[in-house]
Structure formats: structure tokens, C-alpha cells
Amino acid sequence: MLEKKKLIVSHAPFWHSGSRVTERSYHTIFAALPGVLLGFYYFRMPAIGVVCLSVATAILWELVINLVSRRPITIGDGNAAVIGLLFGMLLPATMPWWAVITGTFIAIVVGKQIFGGIGSNAFNPVALAVAIMMVSWKDLFDFDGMLLNYDLDFATVYPIAAAKYFGTEGVISFNLWDLFMGRQIGGIGATFGLGLVVGGVYLILRGFIRWEISLSFLAGVYITAFVFHLFDPIRFISPAYQLLTGYTLIGAFFLATEDSSSPVNVIPMLIYGAAGGVMTVLIRNAGAYVDGVILAILVINLIHPLLDKIRPKALGKVV
Amino acid sequence: MLPMLQKSFFGWIRPRIEYEILPARLPEPDHIAASKTVRLYHPKSDKKNGSPLFRVGDKVNTGQKISLFTDDPAYVIATATGRITSISPFTGDFGKSYLAVTINIAETEVLDNEFEAVIQNPTLEGALDFLAFVPGKPPLSIFSDPQHDIKTIVINGVDNDLLVGTNQYIIKSKLNAVKRGIQILKAITGIENIVLTVAGESLQGYGHLGVEVKSVDTAYPSAIPRLIMKNVLGQIVPAGQRCEDLGVCFFSAEAVAAIGAAFDNGRIPITKAITLIKKDGSQKLINATIGTPIEDIFATYGVTVNEKDRIIFGGPMRGSAVYSLEHPVQPDTDAIMVLDQSQAAYASDYPCINCGECARTCPVKIQVNLLVRFLEAGQYEEAADYYDLYSCVECGLCSFVCVSKIPIFQYIKLGKYELERAKTAEGSNA
């Protein structure tokens, strides 16, 4: 009986659809590329430097935490790279190096690993890092000031800031098509509306993010902005501008849709997204901050477990 | 047929996984007989005080009833003539214990005729006494259980796993035996309300059976009893209860055909129809004697098994893997699947990323992403009380789609098993 073959015994099912965490991460990176590349084109070397440093340090922080906590090395799943890339995309191209490293530290260590790593983070790590950085170093996120020395063939005015201070007057000089095609200043990867929409639609079709969240987020922004605009068209910009400026599109397709901090059922996803959109415009139009996307996403992250209590009744559930 | 189902490119569309649909005309399957030994798993109860009725060395005839203990009604039917060479304990999945009875096959086959006395006057007792071990394993004991008042019998003509066509083959090729089985069932149980479920739309050609024929959707997992209850019979089984508690009992088509054949021929059927699923995903219908070691079947069909391959009793979604090539065909082995090491899915210890694929794919709308957190933490009672553990119909789709490759299905089975064990322990302490 020495030649007895050793078989593997495992539990059913013996097939798998083949989806993997790595696959999700790399497709997210792929979908974000159009936005990043246009940012590289307009903001040149400094932008490339910031994004590369952001991705690299995000992976390094993850590795450090893996080693320190003596847990399996998880940098291969690409989640740290996604966080690094998205964080870099939200920054101005002239972000100092120490701020990038601090930001990725907050995202990876405070935003993700302290909670227990992938899947356990209550908040979107990128949104959390940007929020903390924005509060701590306000000037670093003043895009007008940070990108002052750029000589571009379009106005180096941050549209959403102009809207905040000057209302419709501030953005009237911007052409909507130009905004959509990324001819505006802002975060490195957050300005190219077309690229972000294409990337987002790609992720939706491939099933990596949910349309319910993205569309309800955008609908929330549009409808709330529309109501504000109706109420006072001079003070509050029209909804189309709200959609195409600031972090709206990257927030709708790449930040609000993060798996672990978003709901999974249809109705909760719709409420979650819509609440994010409404909060965004409320903060922009009535709050103290220039852009409300980041804080709105943190707020909806906070309510997501509660929203997921709205769930369909399982078959044969006995109340 | 793909050896493994892949996620479609457009991942947002929920895949529709189809059951195997057999063509109307089927070739007569080959018959595989055991070469040297047959092995039979005799159910073992905890209380085996009675004296053993059979010992190693005893001679048995084909079709003879082997009941090992005087005070235990459990038995197996000898599927070959020969001497018992060993009776050894065997533990199946989730701690089910058996006594494995190995019979060395003698050269001349002698048929046992004890059953012939029963066929003249079919009774439930007679069927219970001889037909619990026939192919398809009919759940006859449910009719003598005073706790259950069975009013409807559902004959499931659709197999409950992918790639498997065993019961469909029975419906297509052995309809006469099924018809006879239905008559016997009606006679011995007194139940007139019998429903036959068949795959797909075509309900033609079953009129002479004298039963209500209903079609089952061909998308997996609609042929699982609880889903048939809901979609075909319009009854919802409350979580924690079984179909039998609602007065419905499920028979496989093969079990009914075996009962029919038994009363027609006066012999207890010992040949099981099996779908053999090879490594390339191709299927072959075969007939094999119950108790035949699977290596005999593999030898006949030139199936090579390498180290670390998987051999699965049942289909790819719900089957159970075995660890030995000596494992025998059992009365409920509808399929045997050989899976190459490179094709088999593996589980991982990655955490749940809360993508929600499982919850969206669940046919009974369980919040699997939350359920699995309780199961991983061993909090089975909470899982059952708040996250619908007992609503699960065990289709395995959650594990199939899981991005983190968490063995969710295994956690669910383990959770149910542990709760059951705790309940029994409490019961015996009370």
C-alpha cells in the first residue's frame, strides 16, 4: 500500500468563478489611468513625482506594517497600490514630499491597517487621509496657491474655490466641455471628467464597483445643486458645474464605491450614494470647506453599517 | 463544457448557471461490476448493545439483507456473493459514523430470495425492511415516523448539482419502472398527492404516470428541495424546519424507479446509475454495482488519478471529496467527479472585503457578507438568530463567487453541524 495516491480533500464547491482581490485592485488602477495620464500631461514632472511617491510609499507602509505586526505580506494584492494611486490623484502636483509620505502613512496605517487590514476599514482610507491632511495643512490643499506657478493654456483658477467665493460669477468663464476634458486645475487625477467617467463605466461593466452607488451619488449632487441653483442662481453654481469640478467624479466612481466602507444591498447603496451627493453639495454651498466630497464620503462611510440593516428578508425567515 | 465556469467579462450581470440537460435519446450505459471486493457502509448508531448478527468470515448472498445488530433496524444489502472479510469503523463527513462491511466476491453468484415473499403483498413494513439501501436511497422511514404527517411526495427528476444527469436519465429511460414505483408508493403509503418535477418546459409524455408533473427552472440552484417547495409548490419552509415538517417528502427519481423495479422483478436493485465526470469535464452515464470501489470504475475508463487530485462524490457545487480510491459507490452516489489539481478551487484565509457578491448571488437572500463574519468567529448561535444561517439551502454559490475565496459553504455546514451537536448534547444532559 506504499503506492497509495494522496488525494486532496476539500469542501464544496470545487469550482470558483475566478475572481480575486488582486484582479479588483489592478482593474481599478487600470480604470484610473486615463485620469492620471492627463494629469501627468498638464502638470508634468512634479505630478509624476507625487503619484509615484504616493504609490511607492503606500506599498512601503503596508509592508512595514506587515513586518511589524508579523502578519502575511499583503502588498501583492494591489490594494495598497490602489490607495496610493487614488491618494496621489487627489493631491496638487506641487505637494511636498514629506506631505505625500505623511498622507500615505495616514491612509495605510491609520486608515486601513489599524482597523485590521483590507476589508476591515470603517472609512475609505484615501478619504480619511485627505481629510486629515486638509484639516492639518490647509494651505497644501489650496489649489490656487499650490499651482500658482504653472503656465497652462487655460485659467489656473480652481473652479470649485472660485464658485465658493464668487458664486456663478466665478465659474461663468469656464466652458463645461473644457472642464469635462480636464482643462482645469485641481488634483492630479481628479480633473479629467471624461477619463474618470470612462474608467468608472469600465469598472461598473466589469462588476468591480456598483452602479447604484456611483449613479445615486451623482444624482444626489445634481438634484441638490439644482435646488440650490433654483433658489439663488447667482450665489450657487448650476448643477453641471458641480458635477464637473472638484472631486465629484473621482469621488463618485473611485472613493464612495470602496468595498469595505460601502453597503452591499441595493436600497442601502442608493441611499448611501444619494446621501453622499447631498452632503457634498451641502458642504460646498453651505459649509465652511471648498470641496465637500471627501467629508461627505466619510459621513456616508459612517452610516453604511446602519444602512445595510435594510436588507431583504431571507427565505423562510422567522421573525 | 468548460471544465470550470468563469466569471463573465461583464461582471455586473449575475451569471445564469444551467443544469445539465440530457438529450431525449440516450445510449444504454455500460455496466461496471466490482472486480474483487465490494464495501458497504452500514449506519452505526450510538447504542449498539445488541449482539452482532454477522461476523467476519460469514458468507452472504447477493441481495441478502445485512443487519449487523439485533436491536438496530439499520441494514445494508449485500451487492455481491462472498465472504465478509472485514467490518471496520468508518467516519464520513461531519462525524457520521458507519461500519464498513467488506465482502470478498466469490466466483459463483447466489441470489438471495428473501425479498420475494414481500412482493405479493406490498406493505410499507416490507419496503422499509428491504428497500432502504436501494439506489437513490428512498427516505421510507419518514412514513413510519409519527412526528411527520407526510401528505405530498415530490419525485425529483432533476439532479441537484451541475453536470450531473443521473435522475434525468432515469426519467428519460426508465419511465416504466418509475410508473410502477409510483403505484407501489401510492399503495404502501396511501398518499395520492404525488408531484414529479422535470427539467425545463417540456411536460409532454408523462400523462400515464398518474401524477402531477411540474417543471423546474433549469438555472442552478432551482432543483434544491427548499427552492422547489417555494417555486413549484408555493410553500415556504420556515428557517430551521425541514420540508418534511410541512408534510412534503422528496424522493429522487432513481429511488422510485428502484422501488418499482424491486417489486417487478422480486430482486432488490443493486445497480446505481452514476454520472462519471472526467477531468476534461466530459460526462458519461454508467451503471455500477453499489459497493464497487471507485478505482474499478477508473480502471475501466482509463481515468488517471494523480497525487493531489480531487475525487468528488456528487457534483462540483455540492459534492463531497473523498480521500481514497477504495471508496465505494454508495446508494446515493449520483455522480463521481475527478478534478485535476490545477482545476480545483482552493480556499484562502483572506478576510472578507465586503464586496457583496455573495449576498447578491444568494438564491434565498441571506446577508452572507455579515453571516460569514459570525461564522468565522465561531458565533454560530448569533449567526442562526440574526443572520439566517438556517435559511441556507446549501447551493454553494456564495463560495463560488467569493472574491476572497473564503470557504463560506464550509463555514455554513460547520455552523449547522456545531449547533446540532450542541443541541444533542443539551438534550442528553436534560
Give the pLDDT confidence score for residue B425 in this predicted structure. 85
Domain boundary among B112, B138, B161: B112
Sign, Cα dihedral of A137, A140, A141, A142: positive
pTM, whole model, 2 decimals? Answer: 0.92
pLDDT in tens, B22-32: 877 778 888 98
Q: Are residues B143 and B220 in the same domain?
A: yes
Say which CATH number the domain at B38 has.
2.40.50
Q: Which region, left, alpha or beta, applies to residue B64 given φ > 0 means left and ψ of -120 to 50 means alpha?
A: beta
Q: Per the CB < 8 Å rule, is A16 touching B405?
A: yes
Same domain, B140 and B233: yes
**Spans of chain B below 50 pLDDT:** 1-3
Contact B409 A116 (CB under 8 A): no
Q: Please check whether residue A13 is in contact with residue B316, taking contact to mean a CB–CB distance below 8 angstroms.
A: yes
**Is residue B7 in a domain?**
no
Q: Is the dihedral of CA B412, B418, B421, B422 positive or negative?
A: negative
List CB contacts (< 8 A) between B365 and chain A: 311-315
ipTM reported for the complex, 2 dp: 0.91
**Portion 15-74 of A in contact with B at CB < 8 A:** 15-21, 23-24
Of B265, B282, B305, the one marking the end of a domain is: B265
- Write the residue in A10, A205, A312 that is nearest to B365 by C-beta: A312
> Do B258 and B395 lie in a common domain?
no
Of A17, A23, A314, Cβ closest to residue B366: A314
Nearest Cβ partner for A19 among B7, B237, B239: B7
Which parts of chain A sit beneath pLDDT 50?
A: 1-2
Asked whether residue B13 is assigned to any structural domain, the reply reads no
Answer yes or no: is B418 within a domain: yes
Number of independent structural domains in chain B: 4
Same domain, B395 and B289: no
| CATH classification at residue B286 | 3.10.20.90
CA-atom Rg of chain B in angstroms: 22
Same domain, B130 and B196: yes
C-alpha closest to that of B290 among B331, B258, B326: B331
Asked if residue B291 lies in contact with residue B34, where contact means CB atoms within 8 angstroms, the answer is yes
For residues B167 and B248, membership in a common domain is answered with yes
Judgement on whether residues B223 and B244 belong to the same structural domain of the protein: yes
**Are A11 and B341 within 8 A, CB to CB?**
no
Residues 260..299 of A with a Cβ closer than 8 Å to B: which? 260, 262-265
Name the phi and psi angles at B4, rounded to 5.
-140, 135
**Are A9 and B353 inside 8 Å of each other by CB?**
no
Q: Quick one: B258 and B283 in the same domain?
A: no
Taking CA atoms, what residue in A is nearest to B392? A315
pLDDT of residue B204: 78
Q: Do B316 and A117 touch (CB under 8 A)?
A: no
For residue B107, tell me if it sits in a domain: yes
Q: Which residues fall within 8 angstroms of residue A276, CB to CB, at 6 or more apart?
A: A217, A220, A251, A252, A256, A293, A296, A297, A299, A300
- Which of A116, A207, A265 lies nearest to residue B359, judging by beta carbons? A265
By residue range, what is the domain housing residue B294? 270-339
In a domain, B255, yes or no: yes
* Distance from the B71 Cα atom to the nearest Cα atom in chain A, whole angstroms: 35
Instruction: Name the pairing type of β-strands B335-339 and B271-277.
Output: parallel
Q: Distance (Å) from the C-alpha of residue A27 to the closest C-alpha of chain B?
A: 12
* CATH number, domain containing residue B165: 3.40.50.11540
Q: Does residue B301 belong to any structural domain of this protein?
A: yes
Closest chain B residue to A210, measured at CA: B12
Beta bridge mates, B275: B285, B335
pLDDT tens digits, residue range A49-102?
Answer: 999 999 999 999 999 999 999 999 999 999 999 999 999 999 999 999 999 999
Q: Which of A21, A262, A313 sits opposite B404 (nearest CB)?
A: A21
Say whether both B253 and B168 belong to one domain: yes
Chain B residues with beta carbon closer than 8 angstroms to that of A306 = none
SS3 B318: coil
Last residue of a domain, one of B215, B230, B265: B265
Nearest residue on chain A to B402, judged by CA atoms? Answer: A19
Identify whether residues B247 and B203 lie together within a single domain.
Answer: yes
* Residue B395 domain flag: yes
pLDDT of residue B2: 45
Verify whether the Cβ–Cβ distance A259 to B354 is below 8 Å: yes
Residue B277 sits in the same domain as residue B200? no
State the pLDDT at residue B1.
38
Residue B154 maps to a domain: yes
Looking at the fold, whether B275 and B257 belong to one and the same domain comes out as no
Comparing alpha-carbon positions, the chain A residue that sits nearest to B7 is: A17
Question: Smallest CA–CA separation between A202 and chain B, in Å?
Answer: 9
